[in-house]
Structure 1
Amino acid sequence: MDPLYAKSVKPRPREEYLNSRLFRPLAHLLVVPLARTRITPPQVVMFHTALGLLAAVLVARGGGWVPALLLQVKTVLDNADGQLARATDQTSELGRYLDTEMDLLVNAALFAAIGSVSGQWLLAALAFCVMTLVLTVDFVWESEYRAARGEIFRDPPVLEGGSVRLLVLLRAFYTFFYVPQERWVRRWGERRFRAVVGPSPTGAQLKAARLAYTTGNTVAVLVNFGLTTQLAAAGACLALGQPVAYLWLVLLQGLTVLYLQSYRERAARHALRTLIA
């Protein structure tokens, strides 16, 4: 494996197949020349954000192949900014917040555009909320998976850079918008876990149940609901002239998360029964 590519890849316990097989290698083709320039990861973020917003405008005007293709180019560049940051030791707190929040902006614009072109405003708003929550659950469950196994979830940024005021603003928005979601998902999941293990589990029971509850099977499913796959599915629906179909696909993902939660609980119960037996 190319050492630069190996350095640029963000390790995850399970793969988002479309990302790892297609979009990440395509992004690396851009990272190699970009690493020799003065172009920074935040600049790449702003460029792919502009492409995503342009795609949303075109969707609102009728959709078709052009916005579908722009979303895939946006995905390649979205991978490239993170890979460039890791490859050139430019990871920063500002970059992480900027990337996350610009993705949210594009997602909101895309769902608004689908609502506009289809007239299904309520369905589009609901689907946007569901997708945002699904991505948050993916984030939380991966962090819990790693914590249960004593692994580091996210390495600290290598350096900090950029405007301090912008960093404060981005951090404040993240705290306002994302932190309550993450806290709610964690608390709800922990309540469900405690209901499974009971009021006074032994240390061995608690550990076995925790490992089973944070099973990699659910992480493997959720990682493939990541943003790369989301925009690929949205692009396919747009290209086929069926933007509303994507909204229903997102709602189906929400139901899948509920099933995965029940799977986690069954896995924890099975671990407890096995330990007792």
Structure 2
Amino acid sequence: MTSRSPLDARATELTRKARPASEWAAERMFRPLAQRLLGPVARTRVRPTTVVLGHTLLGVIAARLIARGGTWTPALLLQIKTVLDNLDGQLARATGQTTETGRYLDTNMDVVVNAAVFMAISRRAGLPATVLLSLILTTDFLWERAYREARGEVFRDAPRQTGDHPWVLGALRGAYALYFVPQERLLGALFERRLRQVTGETPTLEDRVAYAPHVITQVASNLGLSTQLALLGGLLAARRPRAYLWSLPAQAALLAGVQLWRERQVRRRRNA
């Protein structure tokens, strides 16, 4: 009987991104499929950044097909794209190839695909929908960071590899700074101001723990990109892609409700 390779034996733990809450669609649908590809792809020595560029290309092709009136084919391509989007991080962690370049490239290319797809669905609503989705994903990012910082946990592990090409990394950082950093600062300042309004003073560590309970990471993580593309794929197959764009304000309203709830948690702690 052939023994399993060390990568296969340790793959589940090696490739799992440590998060306080998991995204159901990623964990139950896309990550297991990506896991099956991990061993064969790792043996080909394909780099994670190559996988990122590959699934970006699939996303752009899907957008082109949507613009031409396609439904089932672009829906399928977006699901394959999502599997590969889960694979690139697994591959990087399993083979010790996590880099700053890879992280910025993956994030920036997701925006490119989202914008292309949404513009294909509706030119008028495409860019606003792209920004709204980014704000939803940024909220997930900030709430997880707040959860970890309140508990003294490491938010993101340092990349395993160094030696990034300085020009490439600089360009990717610049694109991230132009698009994402203003969103992070805007929402971060909003969340902090709301907390200080509730406490009426400098928040204590106990306030911050109450302000970032586990449930907020559960809600936000399940509005992640894997869930978004699964929903979009289903609506494309049902020939109702514009319904996805209308779902984004509803998602934002859900997060606003969770924000009010977390504020009440701080008030209850202080009044207890």
TM-score (norm 1): 0.93
**Percent identity over the alignment?**
49
Q: 1:161 to 1:103 in 2, by over 3 A?
A: farther
Where 2:29 maps in the other structure, the secondary structure is helix
Which residue is equivalent to 1:111? 118
Task: State the 1:107 CA deviation.
Answer: 0.4
- Which of 44, 67, 87 is matched with 2:51 structurally? 44
Task: State the 1:161 CA deviation.
Answer: 4.3
Contact 1:45-1:81 within 8 A present in 2 as well: yes
Q: Which amino acid in the other structure matches residue 134 of structure 1?
A: I
Question: Can you give the 5+ residue segments of structure 2 that lack an aligned partner in the other structure?
Answer: 1-7
Q: Deviations over 1:191-225 (max 9, x none)?
A: 00000111266xxxx22221111111111001000
Task: State the 1:255 CA deviation.
Answer: 0.9
Task: State the 1:184 CA deviation.
Answer: 1.3
Where 1:177 maps in the other structure, the secondary structure is helix
Contact 2:196-2:202 within 8 A present in 1 as well: no
Q: CA–CA distance in 1 between the matches of 2:119 and 2:47?
A: 30
Q: CA–CA distance in 2 between the matches of 1:168 and 1:125?
A: 25
Which residue is equivalent to 2:100? 93
- Which of 54, 57, 69 is matched with 2:64 structurally? 57
Q: Which amino acid in the other structure matches residue 271 of structure 1?
A: R
Q: CA–CA distance in 2 between the matches of 1:264 and 1:95?
A: 33
Q: CA–CA distance in 2 between the matches of 1:248 and 1:258?
A: 16
- Which of 248, 261, 264 is matched with 1:250 structurally? 248
Q: CA–CA distance in 2 between the matches of 1:249 and 1:124?
A: 13
Which residue is equivalent to 2:235? 237
Contact 2:111-2:130 within 8 A present in 1 as well: no
Residue 261 (structure 1) aligned with residue 263 (structure 2): no
1:1-277 to 2 correspondences below 5 Å: 2-116=9-123, 121=124, 123-199=125-201, 206-274=204-272
Equivalent residue pairs, number:
265
Task: State the 1:162 CA deviation.
Answer: 4.6
Q: CA–CA distance in 1 between the matches of 2:202 and 2:74?
A: 55
Q: Deviations over 1:151-209 (max 9, x none)?
A: 001000000245321111001111111111111111111100000111266xxxx2222
Q: CA–CA distance in 2 between the matches of 1:159 and 1:15?
A: 26
Contact 2:79-2:229 within 8 A present in 1 as well: yes
Task: State the 1:2 CA deviation.
Answer: 4.0
Runs of at least 4 residues off by over 4 Å = none
Task: State the 1:63 CA deviation.
Answer: 2.5
Contact 1:55-1:66 within 8 A present in 2 as well: yes
User: How much is the aligned-residue C-alpha RMSD, in angstroms?
Assistant: 1.3
Contact 2:66-2:120 within 8 A present in 1 as well: yes
Where 1:35 maps in the other structure, the secondary structure is helix
Q: CA–CA distance in 1 between the matches of 2:202 and 2:237?
A: 55
Q: Deviations over 1:100-159 (max 9, x none)?
A: 00111000001100014xxxx1x3333222111000111011001000001001000000
Q: CA–CA distance in 1 between the matches of 2:259 and 2:202?
A: 22
Contact 2:235-2:244 within 8 A present in 1 as well: yes
Q: CA–CA distance in 2 between the matches of 1:18 and 1:67?
A: 19
Q: Which amino acid in the other structure matches residue 85 of structure 2?
A: D
TM-score (norm 2): 0.94
